[in-house]
Structure 1
Amino acid sequence: MLEGLPPNDAAHVMRVSASRIQATRISDIISETFDPADVAVTHFESPEDENIWVVEVFAGSAFDPEMLAKLVTVAAGAEIAAAITFEDIEQKDWVAASLEGLKPVQVGPFMVHGSHDRDRVPPSIIGIEIEAALAFGTGHHGTTQGCLAAIADAARLGKPRRILDIGTGTGVLGIAAARLFRTHVVASDIDIVAVRTARANAVANQAGPLLSFHHAAGADAHVLRTGGPYDLILANILLAPLKRLARPLAGLLASGGTIVLSGLLVSQVPAALAAYRTQGFHLVRQRHIEGWATLTLQRHHG
């Protein structure tokens, strides 16, 4: 998994091995400390030993080895911090390296995988192939998994006709919704690299005609408004933009529609709920996966 939008100038990597719990703590504290546009974090199970997890941190000019070592000490102790290694890497090689060895992730009817696991997808499962790229969303992060589960939940309530995916990243959520419901999905991202990546992923997953991708900040873009109102809105981003989007997204939602929010630490749930409750939303379901929360909300009738 990659926390946030990976930096385009990534030329340095920090690596350290720890237990799964320690690796999660290290990833969380680093992702909370640094701007996700400058520093990317990944942690994954070691291919050699399932009891060992590897944390990798990628950055360019923002790379601060001393600060990283201090954060690892806080999260996992001095002994783990003493085992940190720092390396310089070839630009663009870092993303592939960070995802190498990741296993397919199945959530409900979906399996997110790389091209090397294409043959492992059962016929009854919707396989979503996502390769290493400069955009968030490989399916291994708790927020992506929570959103995929929420999309599966929505299928049990009926078929949404219009779907919006805000902050699409790799496009994994929009692709999942388009293929499950066989309906059009409007997707947007503030980062042009993400838009290009998501569009290519949609084509690679035979979902290109079902999705339209737009380079847009927030939810006020004309192209997003004209595509609504939406029966299902997906927003897997961060707390601050989620709070700012509460009112605009409420205006884009169809009567009886559903909003799925993620990109939230469990501790940030009250703040997110407060922002959306002022817009008439109530909590339908809350999922916690590896310290991350996914919220499913609907608006009060009337």
Structure 2
Amino acid sequence: MLEGLLPTDATHFMRVHAPERDARRIADLIAESFDPAEVAVANFEQPDGDWAVEAYAGSAFDPELLRDLVVAAAGEAYAAHVEFGALQEKDWIAASLEGLAPVRVGPFHVHGSHDRARVPVNGIGIEIEAALAFGTGHHGTTQGCLAAIVDEARRRRPRRVLDVGTGTGVLAIAAARLFRIPVMAGDIDAVAVRTARDNSRANASGAFVHTVLAPGVDAGPLRAAAPYDLILANILLPPLKRLARSLRPLLAPGGRLVLSGLLTSHASAALAAYRTQGLVLVRRRDIEGWTTLTLAVAEKERKAALPPT
């Protein structure tokens, strides 16, 4: 798993070895505790069957805090063996993606340029390279959202899609490639907006994906394109809770809202925030300790909104 992409100012790393279960806990807690643009986290199996957790950062590198997080996630025994070091000058962004096999979810194959030839002829290849924005497709949150897009394709063909917190644009690209419809992709980070725009053009979806620099969903272009039949919000619990009231009016009748970026322990809190807006759970996916929720308007709310006959 690669949580985010390596920050450009990365100068130091942390490494600790642990069994798989503890390694995942350590990686999840570190990922939850830092901005993914400042600290990147990876956990992976080693040839001897043990697992390693690595964190990379620059100005945000805090050895004491990282050690405390290891203690909180797995105990003092592992914290005693945490290794810290300085990064050597090299193309470590590209190196971080070496060995990451393409991710397949339904027809989607998310891959780097080194695996371009591995995409089957009948697959939808989405090529995402190293960048400053989150989203290589290898994280459980992204996989859950891709699966939700596949669910929507089985249900119907949406007319408009919104991707909130687009990052690298992988979800917007997936929806555009599968449905061939307009997709609005917003992000609060200008780097993410540029990255998503470049990636959509490189993946033959530039004519469909419209990127917008926007905090939340109040930007004029995002609201003007509403209502949306499918809204994807792969961010984190606090902003998801803040957006509940703003997202509900953007959802078209019969539409679906997909929430992700949630630790499994946070899913109930997110669902509670959206239930107050008249939404109900349609499907839940748990992938590697992360949860993706698909929501719809409750039947009684939908009927109340229908015009009189």
Q: TM-score range by the shorter chain?
A: over 0.9
Corresponding residue for 2:140?
A: 142
**What is the TM-score normalised by the length of structure 1?**
0.93
> Which structure is larger by alpha-carbon Rg, 1 or 2?
2
**What is the TM-score normalised by the length of structure 2?**
0.91
Output the CA distance in 2 between the equivalents of 1:4 and 1:115: 18
Is the partner of 1:133 in helix, strand or coil? coil
Which of 105, 129, 137 in structure 2 is aligned with 1:131? Answer: 129
Give the conservation status (yes or no) of the 8 Å contact 2:176–2:208.
Answer: yes
Which of 284, 287, 290 in structure 2 is aligned with 1:289? Answer: 287
Unaligned runs of 5+ in 2: 305-309
Give the conservation status (yes or no) of the 8 Å contact 1:6–1:39.
Answer: yes
| Cα 1:5/1:273, change in 2 over 3 Å | farther
User: For 1:58-73, what aligned pairs fall within 5 Å after superposition?
Assistant: 58-73=56-71
Using the TM superposition, give the Cα deviation of residue 70 of structure 1 relative to its aligned residue in structure 2, in angstroms: 2.8
| Cα 1:91/1:252, change in 2 over 3 Å | farther
Output the CA distance in 1 between the equivalents of 2:128 and 2:37: 20
| Cα 1:199/1:71, change in 2 over 3 Å | same
Give the conservation status (yes or no) of the 8 Å contact 1:10–1:60.
Answer: yes
| Cα 1:187/1:291, change in 2 over 3 Å | same
Give the conservation status (yes or no) of the 8 Å contact 2:37–2:134.
Answer: no
Output the CA distance in 1 between the equivalents of 2:110 and 2:78: 31
The answer to whether the aligner puts 1:109 opposite 2:107 as a matched pair is yes
Give the conservation status (yes or no) of the 8 Å contact 2:5–2:130.
Answer: no
The answer to whether the aligner puts 1:89 opposite 2:76 as a matched pair is no
Is the partner of 1:208 in helix, strand or coil? coil
Corresponding residue for 1:224?
A: 222
Output the CA distance in 1 between the equivalents of 2:116 and 2:75: 39
| Cα 1:170/1:293, change in 2 over 3 Å | same
Output the CA distance in 2 between the equivalents of 1:83 and 1:96: 27
Which of 195, 212, 215 in structure 2 is aligned with 1:214? Answer: 212
Give the conservation status (yes or no) of the 8 Å contact 1:104–1:112.
Answer: yes
Corresponding residue for 1:32?
A: 32
Using the TM superposition, give the Cα deviation of residue 186 of structure 1 relative to its aligned residue in structure 2, in angstroms: 0.6
Output the CA distance in 2 between the equivalents of 1:292 and 1:219: 24
Total equivalences in the alignment = 300
1:14 is matched by which residue type in structure 2? Answer: M
Q: Deviations over 1:142-191 (max 9, x none)?
A: 10010010110000111001000000011110111111111111101111
Using the TM superposition, give the Cα deviation of residue 6 of structure 1 relative to its aligned residue in structure 2, in angstroms: 5.7
Is the partner of 2:157 in helix, strand or coil? coil
Output the CA distance in 2 between the equivalents of 1:5 and 1:101: 15
Give the conservation status (yes or no) of the 8 Å contact 1:163–1:230.
Answer: yes
Output the CA distance in 2 between the equivalents of 1:92 and 1:163: 39
Output the CA distance in 1 between the equivalents of 2:43 and 2:238: 24
Give the conservation status (yes or no) of the 8 Å contact 1:9–1:91.
Answer: no
Output the CA distance in 2 between the equivalents of 1:55 and 1:85: 10
Corresponding residue for 1:235?
A: 233
Using the TM superposition, give the Cα deviation of residue 299 of structure 1 relative to its aligned residue in structure 2, in angstroms: 0.7
Q: Deviations over 1:100-151 (max 9, x none)?
A: 2211111111111111111111112111111111111111111001001011
The answer to whether the aligner puts 1:171 opposite 2:169 as a matched pair is yes
Corresponding residue for 1:15?
A: 15
Corresponding residue for 1:99?
A: 97
Give the conservation status (yes or no) of the 8 Å contact 2:187–2:215.
Answer: yes
Using the TM superposition, give the Cα deviation of residue 16 of structure 1 relative to its aligned residue in structure 2, in angstroms: 2.5
The answer to whether the aligner puts 1:200 opposite 2:195 as a matched pair is no
Is the partner of 2:293 in helix, strand or coil? strand
Output the CA distance in 1 between the equivalents of 2:83 and 2:45: 18
- The worse-fitting range, judged by mean Cα deviation, of 157-166 and 117-126 is 117-126
Give the conservation status (yes or no) of the 8 Å contact 1:146–1:287.
Answer: yes
Output the CA distance in 1 between the equivalents of 2:6 and 2:89: 12
